[in-house]
Amino acid sequence: MTWHERIIQFYNNIKLPVLPPGVESLLPFSDEMVAATFNAFYHKFYNDTKTRRLIIGINPGRFGGGVTGVPFTDPIRLACDCGIANPFPLRQELSSVFMYQMIRAFGGPEAFYRQFYITSYSPVGFTKAGKNLNYYDDKDLAADIEPFAVSCLNKQLEWEANRDTAFCLGDGKNFQFLTKLNAKHGFFKSIIPLPHPRFIMQYKLKQKEVYIDRYLQAFCS
């Protein structure tokens, strides 16, 4: 099976654990428009069996992957950078802006996605009181989804994934949680932490080019 086929199968069969009271899941793939654009993206960039390295984020947000289904890819980047027309409101997401500036510097989406696959500790996003919720910001949620996170990573590692080195987007709590899981389950020989794109865009915007170079150096090492 190709990456494209495996990815579609994986997301179509996700089964979430019971979530804590007040926490809602962000799983847009049941929507026909999301399913169509999601399928188009992965067919375009992942219709092969190449070995790829994993980049692991936190969990999808409401305005990027929570809209398009594609990690760190808002509707604008999906259309303008990836060449995939979509019906979603053209609202940008900060993390997506940084990621695609970095991807352009790498050589563009085709070159980048040929070598890397972006996923998350939880491939499903979460909201609470209508706002994005990172899994590690709710103790009960973090505990409830750990077996789910382990299962999801194991399934994705079956897809010709390079298990030598992975990259973690988020050099704080996400890296701590992922490192803990890796120590238990031996997913990778090493995990390299990188500052999260949203942190860069929100707090280090003037140094954005420095962080793009940092990403490229890590990815090209």
Judge contact between 119 and 154, C-beta under 8 A: no
- Arithmetic mean of pLDDT, 183-195: 97
Q: What is the pLDDT of residue 28?
A: 76
Q: What is the pLDDT of residue 209?
A: 97
Angle (CA) 137 52 84, round 5°: 80
Residue 74 Cα to chain centre, angstroms:
12
DSSP lists the bridge partners of residue 119 as 56
Q: What is the pLDDT of residue 61?
A: 80
pTM of the model: 0.95
Q: What is the pLDDT of residue 164?
A: 97
> Is it the case that residue 210 has pLDDT exceeding 80?
yes
> Is it the case that residue 63 has pLDDT exceeding 80?
no
> Is it the case that residue 30 has pLDDT exceeding 80?
no
Q: How confident is the model at residue 200 (pLDDT cuts 50, 70, 90)?
A: very high
Tens-digit pLDDT profile for residues 135-167? 999 999 999 999 999 999 999 999 999 999 999
Angle (deg, nearest 10), helices 208-219 and 94-106: 60
**Whole-number Å distance between alpha carbons of 194 and 135:** 18
Tens-digit pLDDT profile for residues 90-143? 999 999 999 999 999 999 999 999 999 999 999 999 999 989 899 999 999 999
Alpha helices in the chain (DSSP H): 3-12, 32-46, 65-68, 75-80, 94-106, 109-115, 139-156, 173-185, 197-203, 208-219
Least confident segment among 1-5, 11-15, 152-156: 11-15
